[in-house]
Amino acid sequence: MIPVALTIAGSDSSGGAGIQADLKTFAAFGVYGASVITALTAQNTVGVRAVAEVEPEFIGAQVDAVCDDLEVRAVKTGMLANAAVIEKVAVHVRAQRLPNLVVDPVIVAASGDHLLERDAVRMLRYALFPAAVLITPNMREAEILAGCAVRTADDMREAARRLLTMGARAVLVTGGALEGDALDVFFDGRTMRDFRAPRVEVGRAHGAGCTLSAAIAASMARGLGLQDAIALAKQYVTHALETAPEIGHGSRPLNHLVGSFPADVATPR
């Protein structure tokens, strides 16, 4: 049986991030992708022009419709525009007992546009993080969430420690803004681990964070443990950046068609 992964996120009209990036990533990993749309964005590689939010009740109805029919093995969340949406998603994630929740706390886009309302940060911390197996903030998001400066690798480690106290079982602070190797810092209360890959010079990437968290969720849907899923997802993102197409006039979207889930890794039935 093909495994199912669910993305709960916003729609990116340019196709490089959000729901569209998640579904492309799921397909690359041989996973059937289901989706719950939380917001519609009018955006392109240059920036976000407008956002139309979906009513929380309808978001909950989407979650229930998917989960009442499909056996979801992993979930990732992306753009959740306000506190009411975050609370509704958290309630339904718990009610449906959804496994392997990866929370990508989307607060700012690659262009610098703010996508999460400030008053929603508290709800993210206290309602959704405790249900997550992993949260994947980038450095700017880690600063906002942890309340400390995040400028160096040591700062990333300190932010990971602080963020773990908010209830998630593990934290991955992504360090795309650092110089040198592309460094992500993992902490689960026992293990502090650096995930490194050669830096790919593409300027600003569009949808890299969405793609990473989606790849982690897809890998777990296929039966990998958390740290193995992160390692494979990071490899996938690196290759997707190395072959990123020259599309648009702003941040570079990834090539989601590269690679696939290794054939020698079995999918549990």
Measured distance CA(217)–CA(31) in Å, rounded: 10
At the topology level, CATH places domain 4-131+208-253 in UDP-N-acetylmuramoyl-L-alanine:D-glutamate ligase (3.40.1190)
Measured distance CA(104)–CA(72) in Å, rounded: 18
Ranges in the chain, pLDDT < 70 = 108-117, 177, 259-269
Tell me the CA distances in angstroms from 42 to 48, 49, 132, one per residue in order: 6, 5, 29
What's the pTM value of the predicted model, to 2 decimals?
0.94
Q: Who's near 87: CB < 8 A, 6+ residues apart?
A: 56, 123, 127
| pLDDT for position 269 | 44
The residue among 81, 90, 82, 104 whose CA lies nearest residue 60 is 90
For 248-266, write each residue's pLDDT tens digit.
999 899 999 986 555 445 4
| pLDDT for position 115 | 58
Amino acid at 175: G
> In the beta sheet, which residues pair with residue 76?
7, 102
| pLDDT for position 268 | 44
Over its C-alpha atoms, the chain yields an Rg (Å, rounded) of 17
Ramachandran sector of residue 260 (left: φ over 0; alpha: ψ -120 to 50; beta: rest)? beta
| pLDDT for position 107 | 82
